[in-house]
Amino acid sequence: MKKGLKSRFLLGLTAGLVLIACMEDGLAQRKSEAGKKEPTPGMMIKESSLDYRLWEGFVLVRRANGGEAPAQHELGLRYLQGRGFQADTLKAAYWMQKSADQDFDLAHFNLGILTLNGWGVPWDPFGAFRHFRRAGQRGMPEADFILGLMYTEDLVVRQNWRQAYALVKKAADAGFDPAKKALTEFQKRGINVAGQSTAGPKNPSGLRPLFIDFNVDTSSTDDSAILNDLIQEGSEELKKALGVNPGGTTPDSSALALIQRASEAGSPEARTLLGRFSEKGIAADRDPMIAAAQYLVALRNESSRAMDLLWNLANGDGFPEELERRAKESDPVTQFVWAGLVAARIDQRLSGEQALKLLQSSAQQNYVDAIVELGMCYQSGRWVPQDRSQASKLWETAAASGNKEAIVRLRAIQLFAEPPRGSADLVAFFKMQAEEGSILAQVALAYCYERGLGTPRDGGSAARIYRNAAQRGSESAFEALKRMHDAIRPKGAEWEVG
């Protein structure tokens, strides 16, 4: 059994909600405009005159003020989308709340989206759950689908796989395509299929909820799945380079350079892919030690796939023997790898003291990833007495050589100083590094929004960023997300989680 390995599926809920909320021809707008005839193909379309649009807006406001729930909802949508009115999320939320107060189903659904994202109203996932539940009771399969996903999280309500399956199936039976796709994945992974166990998928940690991303098979470690990770999380430039042939695993020189740049910026997906290249001899010489080193750095940066790949590699034929031989030759990469395998509890032939000596030897040979890892040892107190000032010195050494991970870690220290030191420049730095693919920067950026460090406090933005980082495998992001939920959790058995 793989020690230290935690199985996780990832939930892409927020992205889905944003998509639903912002689609120009989305469900809510389609329903609110039902009955309008589609233009005849080829027909010349002319915009309404300004006077007519002003009059139409005036009539809509008058009807909304008169208490008509559909008009209030429509007015809220127009404020949200800036159609005929200056975009204003506060006014959008106000009018949708007015409509929801009259139990209009579409208003409940869209207000749930605003509340979950903190748009125009304070971030409140519990209030969002109530709105989605009411919309589901009024017959909206989209709301049932979202509720089903929420039951997989163990964040808003207690994880309940039977309830999750039932709600997703209800949405699928009503014809909602995303729910049909999700239902197939539920069944493929053995999640609450009718008549089966209610335990849900196997979770070796026994502690973590299982997030589900139905766009990515996170249980797979094949090349296309790893490449898809990078395409999903990479910069726009990288997505464009790789998206031409996302099924391929041999990038051209320009794409390879972008992958290397993303790796240096701190992207664990890029590190994982480079490790795979070295393991298989794709666009690089085959070298299992370099591959293992890449996986270890990806794991340190909270990759969701690196542990499986590292485990399989380290337990492959001939690897232990080559590891021992090259370590005795004082190869810094191999020394770093062996120390990392001990820390990950994959290789238990050495004691912690012996692993520390290997790591120190690698760092003394200026292997930068070993220097960063040694700093992690001093920060956490693993194998050495905890000494955060020594950790900072080591990261400063690594940063001087241009290592972005070390730079991010040094900048992040400022957020946890007494008092915390946040600034607009620091937030801009974390944004830039997060866009390049750094999960560490992503988590730090979310923390800035959560605490209002260098930027206005914004719970919705913090939760969205934490969630995306958790999707990518970040334990620290998930813990932060749970902390945010617990801080505003209502009292009552309904909201108790595991």
Q: At what angle do helices 424-436 and 439-451 cross, to 10 degrees?
A: 140
C-alpha to C-alpha distances, 373 to 291, 391, 468, nearest whole angstrom: 17, 9, 25
* Bond prior to 419 in cis (omega within 30° of 0): yes
DSSP letters of 97-154? Answer: HHHHHTT-HHHHHHHHHHHHHTSSS---HHHHHHHHHHHHHTT-HHHHHHHHHHTTTS
* pTM score, whole prediction: 0.83
Residue 212 has pLDDT above 90, yes or no: no
CATH 1.25.40.10 residue ranges in the chain? Answer: 1-24+57-219
Sign of CA dihedral 419, 423, 427, 433: negative
Structure confidence at residue 407 (pLDDT): 97
List the structure tokens of 82.
């800036």
Structure confidence at residue 430 (pLDDT): 97
Q: Give the residue-averaged pLDDT of 314-320.
A: 97
Distance of alpha carbon 472 from its chain centroid, rounded?
5
> Which of the following CATH numbers is that of domain 230-404: 3.30.420, 1.10.238, 1.25.40, 3.30.1490?
1.25.40
Structure confidence at residue 92 (pLDDT): 95
Residue 360 has pLDDT above 90, yes or no: yes
pLDDT tens column, 268-284? 999 999 999 999 998 88
Distance of alpha carbon 327 from its chain centroid, rounded?
37
**108 neighbors 102 (Cβ within 8 angstroms):** no
Amino acid at 275: G
C-alpha to C-alpha distances, 233 to 27, 84, 222, 259, 364, nearest whole angstrom: 27, 35, 17, 12, 34
Half-sphere exposure of 349 (CA within 13 A, CB side): 9
**391 neighbors 406 (Cβ within 8 angstroms):** no
Residue with the larger pLDDT of the pair 20 and 393: 393
Confidence of residue 117 (pLDDT cuts 50, 70, 90): very high
424-427's contacts with Cβ under 8 Å and 24+ in sequence apart are 424/454, 424/455, 425/454, 426/453, 426/454, 427/453, 427/454, 427/455
Confidence of residue 418 (pLDDT cuts 50, 70, 90): confident
**334 neighbors 327 (Cβ within 8 angstroms):** yes
Share of the chain above pLDDT 90, in %: 67
Residue 361 has pLDDT above 50, yes or no: yes
CA distance 126 to 65: 29
CA distance 73 to 106: 7
CA distance 110 to 461: 18
- The closest of 263, 229, 221, 227 to 246, measured between CA atoms, is 227
> Which of the following CATH numbers is that of domain 1-24+57-219: 1.10.3090.10, 1.25.40.10, 1.20.810.10, 3.10.180.10?
1.25.40.10
